[in-house]
């Protein structure tokens, strides 16, 4: 079981490190925290309109591809395409092992951790 999380991170040449914002919801209305490397500052800020549309598209895509809702039992179930990832995890070019590890160890309250 994973806790909800949504974040926007990037490498800052100016600060020479990873910076970003995040919230502990999969579709937040505002960012709850700012981040520099592993230092977290509680700071509420608005989500820009473009970022909100990207988040909404990603959430919609995740629901359509990987999650189904069983109304009778009020349960969320994983669809078959995600079953292959249960023995490991899914990563993209932008979210490689280093980034996933950095986020999961520092900010994302996972109830299942990644062991590299």
Q: What is the pLDDT of residues 49-76, one digit of tens each?
A: 999 999 999 888 877 877 777 788 887 7
Task: Specify whether the CB–CB gap between 116 and 101 falls below 8 A.
Answer: yes
Structural domain includes residue 98: yes
- The pTM score is 0.65
Q: Lowest-confidence range among 5-9, 63-67, 104-108?
A: 104-108
Segments in the chain forming alpha helices (H): 49-66, 80-83, 97-106
pLDDT of residue 105 exceeding 90, the answer is: no
- Write out the residue range of the structural domain in which residue 22 sits: 6-106
Structural domain includes residue 86: yes
Structural domain includes residue 81: yes
What is the reported pLDDT for 50? 94
How many structural domains are present in the chain? 1
Structural domain includes residue 114: no
Structural domain includes residue 77: yes
**Four-point Cα dihedral 71, 72, 74, 80, nearest 10:** -70
> 10 Å Cβ neighbour count for 91?
12
Tell me how far apart the alpha carbons of residues 48 and 64 are, in angstroms, rounded to a whole number.
24
Structural domain includes residue 76: yes
């Amino acid at each position: 079981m994973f806790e909800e999380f949504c974040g926007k991170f990037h490498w800052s040449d100016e600060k020479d490190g990873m910076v970003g914002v995040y919230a502990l919801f999969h579709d937040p209305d505002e960012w709850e925290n700012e981040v520099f490397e592993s230092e977290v500052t509680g700071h509420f800020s608005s989500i820009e309109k473009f970022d909100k549309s990207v988040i909404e598209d990603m959430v919609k895509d995740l629901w359509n591809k990987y999650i189904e809702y069983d109304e009778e039992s009020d349960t969320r179930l994983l669809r078959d395409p995600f079953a292959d990832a249960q023995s490991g995890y899914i990563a993209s070019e932008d979210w490689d092992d280093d980034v996933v590890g950095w986020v999961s160890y520092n900010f994302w309250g996972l109830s299942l951790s990644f062991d590299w």
